[in-house]
A and B are shown apart, each in its own frame.
Chain A
Amino acid sequence: MFRVISIIGFLGIVIAIAFLSRKETNALSTLTSLLRSGKRQDLLYVLAVASFVLLTLSGFLPVLLAGNSVSGALLFIHVIAAPVFAVCIAAVAVLWVRHHRLDKANWQSLLRLTLLQPAPVERHAQTAELGQKLRFWAILLSSASAILSIVLSMYPLFGTYGQTVLLHLHGYSALFLVLAVVAGSYLPMTSRQVDAGKR
């Protein structure tokens, strides 16, 4: 089931990117420029992205390709990358959270979006900002869910059923996280160049 949903999710995002992505978006070049900047926050961000990529590949490849759970060398990579990602994402969250607080203007943008009201041209920037903030919170929420679900399963708190639920929660949270990150990086509504001003 999880495999099917994952495949559908990844296919959906690939198709969406193919049709909707902004031509000028180049995640690699953005990361490279951040790395070159030498700022601590930028390095932290790059480290988070790198560990995230490792976690995604090691976690989803066996599921998508073979329908198996993570094991062997991939499990090692997953286990090594996990604490790095957890620390980085926590630090990024602490550093960026103030700039991603939803304000009144965001609320009105959200209402306008949910009511499907056409936005005037001058308000496209507000919509994009809302998208950026929502993506941040989606990443935060799914990261917290993915991290806590797996770490709680390591303690003798839950029985087989609870363990299974936690494992599923970990998987679906991770899937949501991947989709949020990928969508945010490539799709026009949520994506903007990583705005240094907000950091």
Chain B
Amino acid sequence: MTDIQNPSGEKRKHDEPFAERETNYIDLLGRFAPVIFLLVLIVIFYALNPRFLSQRNIFNVLRQVSITGLLAIGMTFVILTAGIDLSVGSLLAFSGIVAAGVAKGTRTNTLSLGTTEESGYGVLAAILAAITIGMLGGLVQGAATTKFKIPPFVVTLGGLSAFRGATLLFSNGGPISGFNDAFTEWGQGEIGPVPIPVIIFLGFAVVAHIVLRYTQYGRHVYAVGGNPEAARLSGLNVGLITTSVYVIQGFFAGLGGFVLAARLNSAEAVAGTGFELTVIASVVIGGTSLFGGEGSVLGTVIGSLLIGVLINGLVLNNVNPYVQQVSIGIVIVIAVAFDTFVKSRRSI
């Protein structure tokens, strides 16, 4: 596409909102493919079983995706810089178990399920602890990738193992469970008909969207991911920005760990095992490029919903649970293949 001659610049104050609509249809299809796919799935599952679109089931799906969805918001920042974070599930578990320990004031399971532990430090301290642990974990990993030039894949693969081990060490392998209502409310409560985890998830999605679209920091994240060398030569602090996305990811891992513990009324040492795959899948299905610089939180929300709807729909129709895993795998590959196809067509 060549640029359009514009001899009379005066008439064009600012932009012409319709100029960009000339984009070819493949580009448009590429941009809206996840939405279209999501709608198609919803229609199919609704046709198979009208219960699928009942209010209760809708909130079911949302509640199911809220934890991995939170992580996926953080992962969007990471992947936008062409990075990856495999440690999210482990970091979530570590943050969760620390939060539980802080809430109960003990590292061992008292087996007194449902009782209020008076020796604890309260729910706010627990939240703070979870988020602090998460962000510190992210900071260590981010600094390792930028300062020592270790690929993030390797650093966070190490984190995947190390944080899981730390979790097991912390609680000696067992769960820490049985919290007071102020704690569990964060995972089990509702405001009106809407589960609180869903509100947290969607609320932070909106915040993240605003950060990425409308702040200087967000613009820098896209720039660093799109072309790190150009970003450096434009005076951006590439190392700091790259490190920061892992801290953001850590924040969401911490928050997710706390919410999950609250929802289950138990912080499990094995919580979040394998989450990294679902989380990365949500981001990638949502159209964020693994090569960095392109994508959005909106896409990630769609991607999370898509996976949630797929699993829920299959469960609702009594499909063999093992088939779910297979179908998610296929969807990931199709989504990336489609994305690659669209990009190769666009560059012609």
Please determine whether chains A and B interact with each other in the same assembly.
no
